[in-house]
Structure 1
Amino acid sequence: MNKYVEKWVESSLILKILIGLIIGAILGLAVPQYEMIGLLGQLFVSALKAIAPLLVFVLVASALAKAGEGIRSRFRTVIVLYIFSTFLSAMVAVTGSFLFPVSMHLTQAGEVTAPGGLGEVISNMLLNIFTNPLQSLSQGDYLGILFWAIVFGICLKQVGSPTTKNVFEDCANATSLIVKGIIQFAPIGIMSLVFSAVAESGLSIFIQYGQLIVLLVACIATVALITDPLIAAFALRRNPYPLVFTCLKESGITAFFTRSSAANIPVNMRLCERLGLDKDFYSISIPLGATINMEGAAITITIMTLAVCHTLGIAVDLPTTIVLCIISTLAAAGSSGVAGGSLLLIPMACSLFGIPADISMQAIAVGFIIGVIQDSCETALNSSGDALFSATAEYHDRAKAGEPVNFLGEFAKDKEEATAKSSSLFNFFSVFSYF
């Protein structure tokens, strides 16, 4: 038993995920009636979502309780990177929409409720922040979790004894170990998620809304492979693509299939650890990024809004597009606090062009139809960007301070360290050998 567990842990996680992806697609086409296969994916995502709120709270509180003064500049850097990259993503979406304008067949929208305006989005964000901390933990409200964890960590730093701080650090380490164990089941979970997607949707959505999907995916790919690397290259003064592809491979693939930034927080935490980042920094920057770094959401809001404009024949001038980019950036940052995410914020952006709510709500219906692809690509960009810019901010500030920079961390080393790397995971799995 122990030997097989050790071999499973030591083998390449990405390779196992790719194998699971292929098997899931084949099963989805061959035996779509076996719906119970999809249960495994639901359990995997539920496990990640269940542990993620607790992980964020204990890591953030522990990090702030023991944080040094030198970490503050990194937070300023990463916040600037998050906001600037989101704005540029909206600009890319505007450019793509003007170069390749698409229209859509507007269908009837379902019973959904969208925010009435930017003020309502901001109001909802503030209300979500100042909620009962236990309620925030139970409901997975990361705005509230972040706020109370930051407050608790700062207060603990002022009044907590070294023993108390060490207890919190041990809790954070124990929670991280649980997460590492859950992630080892990712190949099985992703196989199940792919099965469900293929069995339910097939390939028909690729045909009906092909042009819109291609434009969305092209803009997301442009940001992931060109815009974000340019930002990272400017900050790091070196070739960013090894870091970019590492983040896309280790974080983007998992996020693509889970379609949940919250569920991917533990994956990004593990990635940052392997990149050699400061735990006190990434334990805050990653959940913060899952809240405000919404490049994919900005792209979706912008493209869907302009597609409605093109469908209705509304002329859009340059000043208005700049305002649209600003609105999309602010709306995207608030999309984590809105049920339905970026799609339900489309009417707010459409209101800039005087488009009535009943028409803009139909764009939401189109968004839900292509959501399997749109939401998957959007989440992959958002989540991988969290890790990319967290690493960029830390490497930049370390180099600026004259400190040594361990670029890529474990990923820059040889495979010979795989056994040592997996020792703690082996201890976790070995518990099950007694049952």
Structure 2
Amino acid sequence: MTTHTPPSGLLKRLSQGSLVKQILLGLVLGVLLALVSKPAAIAVGLLGTLFVGALKAVAPVLVLMLVMASIANHQQGQKTNIRPILFLYLLGTFSAALTAVLFSFIFPSTLHLTTAADSITPPSGIVEVLRGLLMSMVANPIDALLNANYIGILVWAVGLGFALRHGNETTKNLVNDVLQRGDLHREGGDSFRAAGYLRPGLLDPGRRPGLIRCGATPSCCWCW
């Protein structure tokens, strides 16, 4: 019978540290590897592609479950802390747009479009845009999860959350247990432990409701 030996020293600190710090460390190591050997950096880039793909795959389910659980567990008169959530959302959106604009000037690029201009049909007006938005809101929930339609996911999450508010505690505990099982970072050694760093603040006492804990750094659930 073999026993699992927990990591120690630097490896332990890295494996149990903040996911944000791990991502930053990976970026630095990737840049250094690219300076030493570009072919090796391209080969190792598969790990980054798998990591991003895993986050994109788990994000729709996390958004659905977290929003649904937050609304279902909300008690009358409980402080929601919606202001820091909106502030983080606006700050993140503005920072992303500002970064994109700055890097577009620092590293200008030329795009060669191969598709004919007449084959692109932009929206004819605001009515068509609103119609597309409304159709996204009433999308099939399974289709919304498969295609990462976050408008539809949020609508279904809000609706299911309000429905669960009138349910019994057993039903609410089921949703909470599903989310708690996503806390994989305590076990360690799981290849998909990135999702274990995303924990609902409402389910952890002493943490602000509505926020997701990424390692030691709280961030807004709209970061995807």
Q: How does 1:36-435 map to 2 (within 5 A)?
A: 36-71=43-78, 74-75=81-82, 77=83, 81=87, 108-111=112-115, 113=120, 115-116=122-123, 117-158=125-166, 160-177=167-184, 277-279=207-209, 281-282=210-211, 286-287=220-221, 289-290=222-223
1:145 counterpart SS class: helix
Shift of 1:7: 6.0
Partner residue, 1:10? 13
**Contact 1:183 1:267 (C-alpha < 8 Å) held by counterparts:** no
| CA distance in 1 between partners of 2:109 and 2:31 (Å) | 29
**Contact 2:66 2:200 (C-alpha < 8 Å) held by counterparts:** no
| CA distance in 1 between partners of 2:45 and 2:109 (Å) | 31
* Cα deviations by residue, 1:315-364 (Å, 9 ceiling, x for unpaired): xxxxxxxxxxxxxxxxxxxxxxxxxxxxxxxxxxxxxxxxxxxxxxxxxx
**Contact 1:268 1:286 (C-alpha < 8 Å) held by counterparts:** no
Which runs of no fewer than 5 residues in structure 1 stay unpaired?
186-264, 292-435
* Cα deviations by residue, 1:180-204 (Å, 9 ceiling, x for unpaired): 966866xxxxxxxxxxxxxxxxxxx
Shift of 1:131: 0.3
| CA distance in 1 between partners of 2:121 and 2:196 (Å) | 30
- One-letter code aligned to 2:5: N
| CA distance in 1 between partners of 2:168 and 2:202 (Å) | 28
| CA distance in 1 between partners of 2:170 and 2:39 (Å) | 55
Shift of 1:23: 2.4
CA separation of 1:36/1:54 partners in 2, compared to 1, >3 Å: closer, same or farther?
same
2:139 counterpart SS class: coil
**Contact 1:128 1:143 (C-alpha < 8 Å) held by counterparts:** yes
Shift of 1:32: 2.4
**Contact 2:60 2:153 (C-alpha < 8 Å) held by counterparts:** yes
The structure whose residues are more often helix, as a share, is 1
**Contact 1:55 1:176 (C-alpha < 8 Å) held by counterparts:** no
| CA distance in 2 between partners of 1:105 and 1:155 (Å) | 49
Shift of 1:132: 0.3
| CA distance in 2 between partners of 1:107 and 1:46 (Å) | 25
CA separation of 1:4/1:129 partners in 2, compared to 1, >3 Å: closer, same or farther?
same
CA separation of 1:38/1:70 partners in 2, compared to 1, >3 Å: closer, same or farther?
same
Shift of 1:176: 3.9
- One-letter code aligned to 2:146: S
| CA distance in 1 between partners of 2:33 and 2:109 (Å) | 32
Partner residue, 2:215? none
2:113 counterpart SS class: coil
Instruction: Give the TM-score of the pair, scaled to structure 1.
Output: 0.37
1:175 counterpart SS class: coil
Which runs of no fewer than 5 residues in structure 2 stay unpaired?
213-218
**Contact 1:48 1:182 (C-alpha < 8 Å) held by counterparts:** no
The structure whose residues are more often strand, as a share, is 2
CA separation of 1:65/1:73 partners in 2, compared to 1, >3 Å: closer, same or farther?
closer
Shift of 1:31: 2.8
CA separation of 1:172/1:114 partners in 2, compared to 1, >3 Å: closer, same or farther?
farther
| CA distance in 1 between partners of 2:50 and 2:109 (Å) | 36
Instruction: Give the TM-score of the pair, scaled to structure 2.
Output: 0.64
2:46 counterpart SS class: helix
Aligned counterpart in structure 2 of residue 22 of structure 1, from 17, 25, 28: 28
| CA distance in 1 between partners of 2:58 and 2:90 (Å) | 30
Aligned residues: 198
CA separation of 1:18/1:183 partners in 2, compared to 1, >3 Å: closer, same or farther?
farther
Alpha-carbon RMSD = 4.5
Partner residue, 1:211? none
Shift of 1:51: 1.6
**Contact 2:67 2:154 (C-alpha < 8 Å) held by counterparts:** yes
| CA distance in 2 between partners of 1:10 and 1:83 (Å) | 30
CA separation of 1:45/1:18 partners in 2, compared to 1, >3 Å: closer, same or farther?
closer
